[in-house]
Amino acid sequence: MNWKKYVLGLLIFTVSFLAVNLRVMDQFMIGSLPIDSVNTFAPNLRTTYRVEIQEKQPEVVAIGDSAIRKYSEPVFSLNSGMDTLIFSAPGSGSVYWYSFFRNQVLPASQSVRYVLFFFRDTTLTVPEFLVKGEYLVRLEEVAGAKDRDIYEIAINNRKSSLVRWLENYVPMYAMRSDIYFKMTQAFRNILPEMIVACDANCVNMAFDTIFDMLQLNSLLWEEQFLIVNDILYTDAQLDFSAQAADSFLPMMIEDAATHNITPVFVRVKYRSHAEGEQDDPLLAQYLDDLADYVEEEGGVYVDLSKDDQIKAEMYDDGVHINTQFAPFVTRVVAKEITQALDDLQ
């Protein structure tokens, strides 16, 4: 008799499994299998950055994470002698920077002469860094459905064959992140809607206002960035020659050259550098190899960690420059980069 229970249980499980997956297909408008959306980004990307670049037509565009968020565009422009726009995306890595360059900068302006990529240590050759979970949500602001090559390099290349099969043919698995996001959003919105009739848009605006006003959004992104940064310093990641070809670095340089733009790769300075911390020998060799590669390919390499004008007391924490010192630091950075560009002539 026990076998009948097993068969019945298996039947119930199978029917329930199929029903849930059909419901997910309907909810997320999945028309057929395999699921195409797991092989690229959402179709719509943010265009406000592109509009700003189109309107202002800068000569220089700078891209980086929140380490550069306090840099002053007017100060940088004055000291470099070139109109500059600075875009700081907290918790971003090379996949975001390249996507931004490809989809926001290149379609928007013929005036850009230099693109500055501000990076930390090995981030330029670790394409899988900061692409999962909420980082993917941030990334989909600047990458769209046509960016299949970016998605493949940053996300799909690191997945096992089993995971890729499940994502292509099991809807509830493929959409797990979206399902989790919808569930957490629903729970977050229940009480405000019940108590003060504040709908989802109202709740989102309230969270954005409070978190941005206190700069918590940037701090939380960067805190998570520091928590997960161990991936940057494995022996494998510190082997530049082994990592460069499969990263976004060659694509950054190639796309820039195609549009007559000089790419400038700027290693940011952290408080630990200002306090005298020395690079590990493997990291030092990696950075030497990176500098050689960039210069051989026609780019410019700048290492701000070696500038002794930026002091430890100028930081709010290990990453972020204090507002009081931001104009001075921006001036130092602008002059360092301008000098490197002059040396290129």
pLDDT digits (tens, 9 = 90+) for 6-34: 888 888 888 888 888 888 888 877 878 88
H or E segment at 118?
strand 114-119
Query: Nearest-5° angle of CA 75, CA 116, CA 129?
Result: 125
Q: Count of CB atoms within 10 A of residue 276's CB?
A: 7
Nearest to 136 by CA among 183, 93, 169, 170: 93
Give the integer Cα–Cα distance in Å for 86 and 67: 12
CB 330 within 8 A of CB 72: yes
Give the integer Cα–Cα distance in Å for 295 and 263: 10
Give the integer Cα–Cα distance in Å for 317 and 17: 49
Instruction: Tell me which residue has tokens 């990592």.
Output: 243
Nearest to 266 by CA among 303, 294, 238: 303
- Gyration radius from the chain CA atoms: 23
User: Strand, helix or coil at 93?
Assistant: coil
Tell me what pLDDT residue 211 has: 57
Tell me what pLDDT residue 320 has: 87
Region of residue 81 (left: phi > 0; alpha: psi -120 to 50; beta: else): left
Tell me what pLDDT residue 98 has: 97
Tell me what pLDDT residue 228 has: 56
What separation, in Å, do the N-terminal and C-terminal C-alpha atoms of the chain show? Answer: 86
Q: Which residues of the chain have pLDDT under 50?
A: 214
Tell me what pLDDT residue 234 has: 85
- Cβ-proximal residues to 28 (8 Å cutoff; 6+ apart), any chain: 37, 171, 175, 178
Instruction: Name the pTM for this structure.
Output: 0.80
Tell me what pLDDT residue 220 has: 55
H or E segment at 265?
strand 262-267
Q: 79: which 2 tokens?
A: 């000291």
Q: 40: which 2 tokens?
A: 């690229």
Give the integer Cα–Cα distance in Å for 60 and 50: 14
Length of the chain: 345
Tell me what pLDDT residue 96 has: 95
Q: Count of CB atoms within 10 A of residue 284's CB?
A: 12
Nearest to 79 by CA among 267, 329, 343, 301: 329
CB 54 within 8 A of CB 109: yes
Rounding to the nearest 10 degrees, give the CA dihedral for residues 305, 326, 253, 154: 90
| 138-164 tens-digit pLDDT | 888 899 889 999 988 988 877 778 887
